[in-house]
Amino acid sequence: MLEALLAVIGGCVLGMITGLVPGLHPNTIASIFFIVVITSTCGGDDFVALWILSTSIVHTFVNIIPSVLLGAPEGDTALAVLPGHKLLLEGRGMEAIELSAMGSICSLFVSFALIPFFAIFLFYFYDDIRPHLWMIITGIVAVMIITEFGGLKKRLYSLIVILLSGYLGMLAFNNEPLMTPLFSTLQYLHVSTPLIPLLSGLFGASTLVVSLATGCSSLPPQRHDFQSPSISRVKRGVITGTFAGAFVSWIPGLSPSIGTVLAYIATSRKELSNKAEDYIVAISGVNTSDAIFSLLTLWLIRKARSGTLIVIDELMPSSEWSLITIMGMMGVVILSSICGYYITIKAGGLLSSVLSEMDMRIISSGVIVLLASISFVFGGIFGLSLFLCAIPIGIFAILSGVRRSNAMGVVLVPVLVSYIKQSFLPV
C-alpha cells in the first residue's frame, strides 16, 4: 500500500513535468527508468513500474495545458490546439482546461463501466477483425472527407490536406533512421520519433504563425468567474472520447491521435452547439481511456501498445499478473487520475494568469522557436526539415477552412499503407 502511494506521489511530480514541457513524454521517462533499473542491483522493479504507470496517467490530464495556452502540441493533444486556441482568444482558456480535466476524470469512470464488454470483445473478436484493419482505416479516411462541410470544393481541399500530410508522413517514417538526436544519450533512449517535428509543424507552429499574422499582441482578459463544468455538460464528449480511446487501444500501430480524429468527426457536426468545448472534452477522454484500455489489452492478450507499457511489461511481466495485481494497478490509476485533475486545475490557473500579462507576439514567437529547437534536438537536420515542411500544410488547412483533423493523414496514411502491405503482400 505504501509502495503504491509513493509511486503515485512520484507519478504526480513527473507527470506534471512531462505534461507541461513540450516534447517531453512519459516514454522518455520510462526509458530512463528502465536503464537505471537494469543497470542497478537495488531491485524495486514493481515500484518503478507503478511509478511509470502513475506518470503516464497524470500526463494525460496535464498535457492539455501547453496545447491550450501555448499552442504547443504532442501526438495525443495535437487536434486540441485549434479549439483550445479559439477559447483562449475568447478569454476562456481556463474554462477549456477545466473542461479537459472534467472530461478525463469522467472518462475514467465510464471506462471502468465498459471493462467487461471490452474484455469479451478482445477474447472473441480480436483475431477475426485484425486481418481486416486496413478496411477500418480506409473507412475512417473516407468519413473524414465525406463529412467535410462546404460542398465538393471543401472536400477536395480535405483530400489535398490528407494526401500532402500523408506523403510527408510516409517520407518521414520511411527515413526514420535519419532522425539523429543532437545528443547521443537521446539516441540511446530511442525517444526520437518523426511525430515530434511533424505534429509540432502541422498543428502548433502553423496555428501560431497565423495568429502572429493577425496582429494580436495580447491575450484578452482570461475569465475565472465561469461556472465549473457539470457532468451533463460534458457527457457527450466523454462518451465519444471514451469509446474512441477504447477503439484505438487494441489496434496495432494506432495511437490515441487517431482516436482524436474519430472524436473530432463525432463532435463537429453542424447541428451540435459548443463544438469546441465538446471536442476538448472528447480528446481528453480519448487519452485517458486509451491509457486504461491499453493496460487491459496488455493483461488480456499480452500486447503492449505504447513505450511505457513495454517497459512496465519488462519490469512486471504481464504473464504473471493476477486479478489482484490488475486491481491494484487500477487503484493506482484512480489515485493518479484524481491527483492529475487537481494538478491540471491549479497549474492551468497559475499559468493562464501569468501569460495573460505577457505580449502574445513574444509568447507565440518564443514557442515557435522552442518547437523548432525541440525538432532539431530530437531529430537533427532531418527533424528540423520535417518541422519546416509541415508548417505550410498546416497553414493551408487553416486558410482553406477545412477541419484540422485532415492533417492527421500524416499518421493515417502510413498506417493504412502498412496494413495493406501486411494483408496483400507475402511476408
Rounded distance, CA 98 to CA 230, Å? 10
Higher-pLDDT residue of 282 and 31 is 282
- Among the ranges given (35-49, 92-106, 125-139, 152-166), the one the predictor scored with the smallest mean pLDDT: 35-49
pLDDT, residue 176, reads: 87
Rounded distance, CA 253 to CA 305, Å? 8
**Per-residue pLDDT tens digits for 230-274:** 666 678 888 888 988 888 888 766 666 667 677 766 666 554 445
Assess whether pLDDT exceeds 80 at residue 318.
Answer: yes
pLDDT, residue 332, reads: 92
Question: Would you say 200 and 72 are in contact if contact means Cβ atoms under 8 Å apart?
Answer: yes
**Per-residue pLDDT tens digits for 358-379:** 777 787 788 889 889 888 988 8
What are the grid coordinates assigned to 234, written together?
A: 460534458
What are the grid coordinates assigned to 46, written together?
A: 514493481
Most trustworthy range by pLDDT among 128-137, 208-217, 349-358, 371-380: 371-380
Neighbouring C-alpha atoms within 13 Å toward the C-beta of 366: 10
- DSSP reduced 3-state for 77: coil
Mean pLDDT of the chain: 80
Assess whether pLDDT exceeds 90 at residue 95.
Answer: no
For the chain, give every domain's residue range. 2-424
pLDDT, residue 230, reads: 65
What are the grid coordinates assigned to 407, written together?
A: 492533417
Higher-pLDDT residue of 104 and 258 is 104
Confidence class of residue 32 from pLDDT cuts 50, 70 and 90? low
pLDDT, residue 215, reads: 59
Assess whether pLDDT exceeds 80 at residue 335.
Answer: yes
In the predicted model, what is the mean pLDDT of residues 125-130? 80
Sign of CA dihedral 246, 145, 200, 275: negative
Higher-pLDDT residue of 210 and 322 is 322
Question: Would you say 286 and 259 are in contact if contact means Cβ atoms under 8 Å apart?
Answer: yes
Rounded distance, CA 182 to CA 377, Å? 5
- DSSP reduced 3-state for 159: helix
Most trustworthy range by pLDDT among 103-117, 145-159, 266-280: 103-117
pLDDT, residue 210, reads: 80
